[in-house]
Structure 1
Amino acid sequence: MTHVMAKGANISLTAAAVRAVLRWSSAAGAPDLDASALLLGANGKVRSDTDFVFYNQPRHPLGVVRHLPKHRVPGSEEIADTVEIDLAKLPADVDRVVLAGSAESGTFHEVRGLRVLLHDAAAPAGAEPLAEFPIHEVEAVSALVCAELYRRDGGWKFRAVGQGYSSGLSGLATDFGITVDEEPTPEPAATPAAPTPTPTPAPAATHAAPEEPASYTLTPPPVAPTAPPTAPATIPPPPANPPGYGYPQQPTPQPQAQPQPSYGYPQPQPQAQPQPQQQPQPTYGYPQPQPPFALPPQGPQFQPR
C-alpha cells in the first residue's frame, strides 16, 4: 500500500535500497527539472564535494548513490528523473540523504503535477510505490528540497520536506557545504577580452626586436676609427728612417726627404740627390767609427728606377 504523505510527515523504511522518483507534467512552457541527492554527515554538511550526486556527477565514488537518465513516463505526458540509494551500503558517517530538485529557466511555481514517489528498489517493475508526496502551492523558487532519508534507531526513515531555495541549485548546494564555482566561470570570459587589446602592442614589441641587429652593427664602426688614435698614445711612432737590426741606433739628424741606408754596408747615394755631408749610420753591433765618405762609381745596378 502506498503512503500518501503531507508536508512534514515521515514513515519508517525496511527496504535495503530505494528509488526516489521526481515526476511532473511536461506542459507547454513549463521549465525542465533535475533531481539530485546530497549525502550529509551528523553536522548537516557533505563530507566532500563527491557527496553531491546530480546530472554532472551521476555516480557516487562508492557506487551507493546513482542518478539515472531522465525519461518520459510511458503512456503519459509526465517526465521522471530518478535517484537510487543503497541504504544498507551507505557509510556509517552518512547520517542523512537529501533528495532535491532544481528548475531550469523557470520556477517550481510554474510546474504542474509535481510529486515524489519512493519505490523499493528490489520490487518488480510496475509495483506500487512505498510512499508518494504531492508537492502543492510551491512558491517561485528555482531549487527545492523535496524529501529526505535519515537514520533513526538503527534504521532509516523517509520524510516529506518541500523547502524551497530562491538562490537556485548553487545556493542549495552551498547551504549543505558544497563548493560551487559559478562566479569564477564568467571571469575567464572577461580575461580573454582583456588580452585582446594587449596583443596589439605585442606585435610592435615583436617588430622592435629586429632593430637590435642595428644596435650591434653600430659597434664595429666606432672601434675602427678609435683604435688608431689609441695605439699611438701607447706605442711610440716608428722613426722616419727605420734602422736595421741590432742594438738601439743613434737618431738620424737627416731630413725625412733623405733616404736611409738599408741592411749591410753603407750604400751609395743616388746621383740625383748627392749628400756628401751626410754620414752613414752604423748597422749591426755597437756604433762604428765613421770612415770618410766616398762615392763609389755608379753602375747599372745603382741607376734610379
Structure 2
Amino acid sequence: MATSIIRKGKGVRLREVSDVKLDKIKIGLGWELRKGGHLDLDASVFLLGEDGKLPSDEYFVFYNNLESPDGMVKHKGDNRVGDAEGDDEEILLNLPYISPSVKELVFVVSIYDAQNRRHNFGNLEEAYIRVVNLKDSKEILNFDLDADYGDDTEVEFAKMRREDDGWRFIPTGVGSKIGLQGYVDKYIPEL
C-alpha cells in the first residue's frame, strides 16, 4: 500500500491505511533549517486520560523522560542539531499495549530555549511528521508541514485518539508561543 498523504485536520483511522495490522509504529519527525540557521528542536508526546489531562508527570514523554510508565511509548533521544539523515527525532509506540487509561496522544515539537535565543519556526523548511509500520519499515502516513509558523516557538504536529476499533491519527499543525512549559501546564490536572 502506498503512503497516504494527509492534510491538516483530516484524521484517518490507522487500520484503514495499512494492509497489515498496525501494532508497533514509529512517529518520525524531520525538518531542515534555512541556510545559516541553527535550532534545537525537541519532540514530545503527552499521554492524556479521559479528562484530557496527564494521569501523572510520567505520562509526559520527552528528552528528560524517554519512556511512558507502561513502556509502550519510547522517545529515541534528543537530536540537538537536526542534521540526521531521514527522521531527526523518533517516538516508538506499541499501540495495543498502551495503558487503557490513555485516550489521546498529543505530539508537540518545541524549540529549545526559543525566547532567549530568539528562534522560531520561521527558520525551518521541509518539516514533516510521518507514521511508519515497524513490522515492515513502510511509511503509512505523511503530513508535510511548511514553515508558515512565523514567530511560533512550538507546533502541535498531531494527535492520536483511541477509538473502539483502534487509533485515529489527526494532523493538527497548530503553532503557539506558550513554550513547552505552557503545554505542560495545559495538561497538568487541576489540584
Decide: shared fold, TM above 0.5: yes
Match of 2:92 in 1: 84
Whichever of the two has the greater Rg, that structure is 1
- Which has the larger helix fraction? 1
**Match for residue 165 of structure 2 among 154, 157, 168:** 154
CA contact (8 A) 1:143 1:172 kept: no
RMSD in angstroms over aligned alpha carbons? 1.9
**Match for residue 42 of structure 2 among 28, 34, 38:** 34
Distance 1:145 1:155 in 2: 22
Match of 2:4 in 1: 3
CA contact (8 A) 2:50 2:101 kept: yes
Match of 2:29 in 1: 22
> What TM-score results when the alignment is normalised by the length of structure 1?
0.53
Structure 1 unmatched runs, 5+: 180-305
CA contact (8 A) 2:70 2:99 kept: no
Match of 1:116 in 2: 129
CA contact (8 A) 1:40 1:97 kept: yes
Query: CA, structure 1 residues 139+178, in 2 after alignment: closer, same or farther (shift >3 Å)?
Result: farther
Give identity over the alignment, percent. Answer: 26
How far is 1:23 from its partner? 0.2
Alignment of 1:240-279 (within 5 A): none
SS at structure 1 position matched to 2:88: strand
Listed one character per residue, the Cα deviations across residues 169-225 of structure 1 (whole Å, up to 9, x for unaligned) are: 11012111179xxxxxxxxxxxxxxxxxxxxxxxxxxxxxxxxxxxxxxxxxxxxxx
Higher relative contact order (CA 8 A, sep 6+): 2
How far is 1:167 from its partner? 1.3
CA contact (8 A) 1:40 1:95 kept: yes
**Match for residue 140 of structure 2 among 130, 143, 148:** 130
Alignment of 1:38-117 (within 5 A): 38-69=46-77, 70=79, 72-74=83-85, 80-104=88-112, 105=114, 106-117=119-130
Match of 2:184 in 1: 173
> What TM-score results when the alignment is normalised by the length of structure 2?
0.83
Which amino acid letter does the alignment assign opposite residue 7 of structure 2? A
SS at structure 2 position matched to 1:34: strand
CA contact (8 A) 2:26 2:92 kept: yes
Structure 2 unmatched runs, 5+: 16-21
How far is 1:79 from its partner? 5.7
Distance 1:26 1:167 in 2: 22
SS at structure 1 position matched to 2:122: helix
Which amino acid letter does the alignment assign opposite residue 134 of structure 1? D
Which amino acid letter does the alignment assign opposite residue 62 of structure 2? F
Distance 1:61 1:41 in 2: 14
Listed one character per residue, the Cα deviations across residues 22-63 of structure 1 (whole Å, up to 9, x for unaligned) are: 100144214221111110011111100000000011112221
- Which has the larger strand fraction? 2
Distance 2:186 2:176 in 1: 10
Which amino acid letter does the alignment assign opposite residue 59 of structure 1? E
What is the total number of aligned residue pairs between the two structures?
173
Match of 1:139 in 2: 150
Query: CA, structure 1 residues 46+115, in 2 after alignment: closer, same or farther (shift >3 Å)?
Result: same
Greater mean alpha carbon deviation, residues 93-102 or residues 63-72 = 63-72
Which amino acid letter does the alignment assign opposite residue 144 of structure 1? V
SS at structure 2 position matched to 1:173: helix
Distance 2:39 2:189 in 1: 25
